[in-house]
């Protein structure tokens, strides 16, 4: 694909993204910008109706729109049923990443029994454990620690200061952002005579292909079996996944979610930020869980589930609390009335 300092032609973008082109395909695009801030050389996209007001006034050179919005502008355009996904592909074409130079930095510590592909990259002060395999084009960032007997597949990227405990496995093209810890001991404790006895965590963490793991996310190893993250799972920052969990393929989980041990999340699920999911549950494929929801029981039928109260003024919240405190006595009074009525009728 031809590209120079003046940008990429709109026709080339359409061809590479597999979408319809309308208008002048020869104009050059050099950046992505919002509809209300775009100028010459920029392409903007419309994926939410709330921003449609800007479509008629934008100064962008081209836009990405749905077929339904195509008639609302005379600008050259890419027409697609999913403008947001097309925007993502266009952004990747306009801003390609530069692959790091392969090789092992002189300050890295690599075990003698480790197996490194010749074109892998091992950054400054990284540590690679015994019998660990680093595959082709994998990039291990500065300060990363990969424990013994780990497997890092081709094209994986581990950003600085990631930690992989021993026997963890990453599938191809998986991305792990800084500060993530994979394979730490699960929270396994047995109580005896008022004290805690640590339960050895002897399982692994097995992560599939095309997974992305956000900064400071933690995934605990299994207690006996494995903690499994299936293909194409997307995890935001600061998520906690307990031991022996299984996250189904194509599921996306937003930041600060906590998932207790041995819970199985289905495929194609979406979980909003700060949701809390108890242990030993099963969540059906295709389930959507709203932000800050508390899930204490299994969800066997896919749907949209919300369990959090919306914010409200402090005075109204206090009134609601008072009403809730009175609710039990009201229930007891109604039950007594019903029992009295039943006795009279009998």
Distance of CA 23 to the CA centre of its chain: 36
Share of the chain above pLDDT 70, in %: 98
The pLDDT score that the predictor gives to residue 308 is 83
Q: Based on the residue annotation, tell me whether 243 is a catalytic residue of this protein.
A: yes
Q: Give pLDDT tens digits for 131-182.
A: 999 999 999 999 999 999 999 999 999 999 999 999 999 999 999 999 999 9
Task: Spot the catalytic one: 137, 177, 243, 250.
Answer: 243
Q: Which of 239, 168, 148 is nearest to 208 (CA)?
A: 168
pLDDT band at 3; cut points 50, 70, 90: very low
Lowest pLDDT segment from 93-102, 173-182, 188-197, 239-248: 93-102
Distance of CA 300 to the CA centre of its chain: 23
Sign of the torsion formed by the C-alpha atoms of 37, 42, 46 and 52: positive
The structure's pTM equals 0.90
Phi, psi of 3 (to 5 degrees): -155, 135
Give the mean pLDDT of 67-82.
Answer: 96
Q: CB of 156 within 8 A of CB of 142?
A: no
Lowest pLDDT segment from 79-83, 143-147, 334-338: 334-338
The pLDDT score that the predictor gives to residue 341 is 85
Half-sphere exposure of 54 toward its Cβ, with a 13 Å CA cutoff? 21
Give the mean pLDDT of 263-290.
Answer: 98
Q: Give pLDDT tens digits for 285-313.
A: 999 999 999 999 999 999 999 988 888 99
Q: CB neighbours of 133 closer than 8 A, spacing ≥ 6?
A: 114, 115, 150, 151, 152
Q: Give pLDDT tens digits for 194-207.
A: 999 999 999 999 99
């Amino acid at each position: 694909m031809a590209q120079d300092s003046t940008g990429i032609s709109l026709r080339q973008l359409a061809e590479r993204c597999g979408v319809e082109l309308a208008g002048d395909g020869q104009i050059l695009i050099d950046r992505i910008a919002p509809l209300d801030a775009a100028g010459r050389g920029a392409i903007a996209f419309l994926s939410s109706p709330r921003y449609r007001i800007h479509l008629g006034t934008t100064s962008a050179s081209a836009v990405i729109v749905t077929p339904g919005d195509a008639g609302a502008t005379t600008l050259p355009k890419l027409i697609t049923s999913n403008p947001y996904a097309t925007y993502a592909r266009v952004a990747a074409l306009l801003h390609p990443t530069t692959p790091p130079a392969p090789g092992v930095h002189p300050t890295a510590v690599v075990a003698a029994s480790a197996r490194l592909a010749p074109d892998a990259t091992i950054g400054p002060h990284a540590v690679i454990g015994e019998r660990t395999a680093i595959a082709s084009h994998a990039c291990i960032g500065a300060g990363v620690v990969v424990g013994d007997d780990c497997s890092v597949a081709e094209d994986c990227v581990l950003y600085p200061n990631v930690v992989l405990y021993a026997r963890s496995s990453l599938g191809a093209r998986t991305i792990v952002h800084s500060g993530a810890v994979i394979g730490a001991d699960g929270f396994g404790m047995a109580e005896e005579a008022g004290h805690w006895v640590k339960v050895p965590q002897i399982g692994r963490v097995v992560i599939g292909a095309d997974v992305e793991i956000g900064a400071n996310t933690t995934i605990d190893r299994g207690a006996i079996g494995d903690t499994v993250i299936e293909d194409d799972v997307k995890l935001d920052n600061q998520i906690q996944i307990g031991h022996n969990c299984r996250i189904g393929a194509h599921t996306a989980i937003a930041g600060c979610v906590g998932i207790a041990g041995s819970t199985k999340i289905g495929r194609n699920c979406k979980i909003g930020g700060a949701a809390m999911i108890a242990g030993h549950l099963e969540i059906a494929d295709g389930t959507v869980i709203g932000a800050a929801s508390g899930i204490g029981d299994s969800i066997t039928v896919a749907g949209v589930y919300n369990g959090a109260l919306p914010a409200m003024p402090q005075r109204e919240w206090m009134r609601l609390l008072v009403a809730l405190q009175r609710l039990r006595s009201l229930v007891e009074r109604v039950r007594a009335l019903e029992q009295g009525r039943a006795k009279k009728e009998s």
